[in-house]
Amino acid sequence: MTAGVHDKGGHIIIQIMHAGRMSHPDNTPHHRQAVAPSAIAPGSQMFTATGMQDIPTPRALTTEEVRRTVTDFRHAARRAIEAGADGVEIHGANG
């Protein structure tokens, strides 16, 4: 795909993200609890299949899990470039 885009003179930037605390179990496979660096609820709501719901408090990541997440981002960025992407954007908004 990247070669086809490049052949037409285009560029591809791949965005990788972590939803962090701005997630709801109803919007995830297996209804997983959100994780974030700290167990602080965002104090807002999110749209789900059953309507708007309060976003629950995430589970705080351990220091090792934070390190693993950084490693996962590094791996994903490397793989995106290897796949032919011209750049990678790390999405860091939304809480």
What are the tens digits of pLDDT across the range 68-95?
Answer: 999 999 999 999 999 999 999 999 777 6
Dist. CA 65–CA 42, nearest whole Å = 20
> How confident is the prediction for the chain on average, in pLDDT?
94
pLDDT digits (tens, 9 = 90+) for 12-26: 999 999 988 999 999
State the Cα–Cα distance between residues 95 and 40, nearest whole angstrom: 10
Pairwise CA distance, residues 14 & 51, whole Å: 30
Give the predicted TM-score (pTM) of the model: 0.81
| φ, ψ dihedrals at 36, nearest 5° | -155, 170
Counted domains in the chain: 1
Task: Give the model's pLDDT for residue 93.
Answer: 75
- Residue 7 pLDDT level (bands cut at 50, 70, 90): very high
- Domain with 29, as residue range(s), is 2-91
